[in-house]
Amino acid sequence: MSKTFTLNEAQTLLPVLEALLKRAQVAASRANELEFEMQQLSQRIYLSGGMHVDIVAAARRRAERDKAAQQAKDTLAEIDAIGVRVQDLEAGLLDFPCQVEGAMVLLCWKLGESAISHWHTEEEGFAGRKPLDLRFGKTERERFN
């Protein structure tokens, strides 16, 4: 079974997760820029029927792209290891599995929001986000007493 979070636990993790998410976004964005740059170079070589290329510089860019892509992957793996799901890296969407009244739901947070204020079921996804209600504020002890 995957890890679940209470609203309080998820809320407490937000500053750390926000920093990790931003780091992954920057790395992924850098990898994409470098990939685009390399594709443009390949296109220019192809269109000109071959041209002199600074192989050392091209290899350095490729290594830089690979490093940025790996950094993004490693950071996403770090978030995953915490038990949080990255639903959309570009949009900064995170889901926290949460057990509420015997059902598994997802607390939903988007980069830029000051707190976790929404939830949805697995099936509904982000489009089905609903505001949190009183069930989410109770602690485990309160639910069973």
Give the tens place of pLDDT for each residue, 36-81.
Answer: 998 988 888 777 776 677 788 888 999 999 999 999 999 999 999 9
pLDDT at 143 over 60: no
CB atoms within 10 A of CB 144: 7
Q: What is the CA 70 to chain-centroid distance, rounded? A: 14
**Where is pLDDT greater, at 87 or 135?**
87
Evaluate if pTM is beyond 0.85: no
| Residues 98 and 4: beta-carbon distance below 8 Å | yes
